[in-house]
């Protein structure tokens, strides 16, 4: 590898333009050298904005280029598996946008490819919402502040899909987004960080209320991904998981994770960006996050550090990605099989 680390961008959506490209360009010795987007015009626009020297219409040009050391995949999930696998086979490090893939099967192929190339860094962009609180939550759990964990409640609701006239987005098309349903996998990923384990079985129910939506160009297309989903699951230690996600809730949006223990409960208010602790017999109290414990977005820096220093990927490695894809796959399977119980 050259003294510099040269990054090729495939897919330059909002997160790539807002986070990844500026993040890489802020690191000494890192250059973003090529970009490919859905159209040449959009790729050229990104290149002009960020001073990227090479524009191409073919993603293989970037993956096969000897002048590129690492690939940043910013496409929709439908291309994650083919791009990541091709990049690893070409000897490139890879950072891919979340969700990991469309399905568990695709995610497992990606994991297998990464294990075939252990010398290469393979990283998924992590669920970012809990980053400021992760270390503190894990400390509280490790110290036993909550006692025996009894319930984990995940809630994320809004009215983004309540209007049947709303144009169909890529997030509602199976061909593009696969089995990734609303924020199901993102919230589950955060719980995996804290608990170090996932559920062993689940049952899920879901609904599509608007079966067809305008496609934005004068036609209509089928809606194939649920607009509301509820999951009941169980952890090996006996705690229950209750998860509800909705895009059709007309009341005030909700976004939180609650952990209920025998001694105390934690409530992470993701909308208000606050963590609350309630001990038995005491009022709920705001948890002050120590500055040294407050995490932040460091995705690009972590990726480069893993390349340069051999540091293991923490947020998020492919094995964890497979775990949350297994969860979303199981919820899909349960819903499509009459709310059958699925063992993970």
pLDDT (mean) for 233-257: 97
pLDDT computed for residue 222 by the predictor:
95
Q: What average pLDDT is seen over the chain?
A: 97
Contact by Cβ (8 Å): 330, 241: no
List, by residue range, all CATH 3.30.360.10 domains of the chain. 134-296+325-343
Q: Count H helices and E strands in the chain, helices first.
A: 11, 17
Fold of the domain spanning 5-126+298-313? Rossmann fold (3.40.50)
Whether residue 245 has pLDDT greater than 90? yes
pLDDT digits (tens, 9 = 90+) for 8-33: 999 999 999 999 999 999 999 999 99
Model confidence pTM above 0.75: yes
For the cut 70, the answer to whether the pLDDT of residue 79 exceeds it is: yes
pLDDT one-digit tens code per residue, 164-198: 999 999 999 999 999 999 999 999 999 999 999 99
pLDDT tens, position by position, 300-315? 999 999 999 999 999 9
> Is the pLDDT reported for residue 3 higher than 90?
no
pLDDT-derived band at 2, boundaries 50, 70, 90: low
pLDDT at 260: 98
Distance CA 22, CA 45 (A): 15
Exposed, middle or buried by CB within 10 Å (0-12, 13-18, 19+), for 12? buried
Percent of the chain with pLDDT over 90: 99
Is the domain covering 134-296+325-343 a CATH 3.30.360.10 domain?
yes
Q: Is the pLDDT of residue 1 over 90?
A: no
pLDDT digits (tens, 9 = 90+) for 208-237: 999 999 999 999 999 999 999 999 999 999
Q: CATH 3.40.50.720 occupies which residues in the chain?
A: 5-126+298-313
């Amino acid at each position: 590898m050259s003294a510099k680390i040269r990054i090729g961008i495939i897919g330059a959506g909002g997160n790539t333009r807002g986070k990844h490209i500026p993040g890489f360009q802020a690191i000494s010795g890192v250059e973003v050298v090529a970009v490919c987007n859905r159209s040449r015009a959009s790729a050229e626009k990104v290149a002009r904005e960020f001073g990227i020297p090479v524009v191409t219409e073919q993603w293989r040009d970037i993956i096969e280029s000897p002048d590129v050391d690492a690939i940043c995949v910013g496409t929709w999930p439908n291309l994650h598996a083919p791009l990541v696998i091709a990049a690893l086979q070409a000897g490139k490090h890879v950072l891919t946008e979340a969700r990991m893939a469309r399905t568990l099967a695709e995610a497992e192929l990606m994991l297998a490819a990464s294990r075939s190339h252990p010398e290469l860094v393979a990283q998924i962009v992590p669920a970012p919402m809990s980053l400021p609180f992760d270390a503190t939550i894990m400390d509280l759990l490790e110290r036993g502040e909550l006692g025996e964990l009894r319930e984990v409640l995940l809630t994320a609701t809004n009215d983004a899909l309540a209007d049947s006239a709303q144009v169909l987005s890529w997030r509602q098309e199976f061909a593009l987004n696969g089995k990734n349903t609303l924020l199901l996998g993102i919230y589950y990923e955060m719980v995996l960080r804290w608990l170090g384990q996932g559920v062993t079985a689940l049952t899920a129910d879901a609904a599509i209320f608007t079966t067809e939506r305008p496609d934005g160009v004068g036609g209509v297309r089928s809606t194939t991904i649920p607009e509301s989903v509820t999951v009941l699951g169980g952890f090996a230690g006996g705690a229950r998981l209750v998860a509800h996600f909705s895009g059709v809730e007309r009341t005030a949006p909700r976004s939180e994770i609650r952990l209920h223990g025998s001694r105390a409960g934690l409530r992470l208010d993701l909308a208000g960006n606050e963590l609350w602790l309630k001990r038995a017999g005491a009022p709920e109290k705001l948890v002050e996050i120590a500055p040294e414990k407050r995490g932040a977005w460091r995705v690009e820096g972590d990726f480069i550090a893993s390349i340069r220093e051999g540091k293991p990927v923490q947020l998020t490695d492919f094995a964890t990605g497979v775990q949350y894809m297994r969860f979303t796959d199981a919820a899909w399977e349960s819903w499509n099989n009459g709310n059958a119980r699925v063992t993970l």
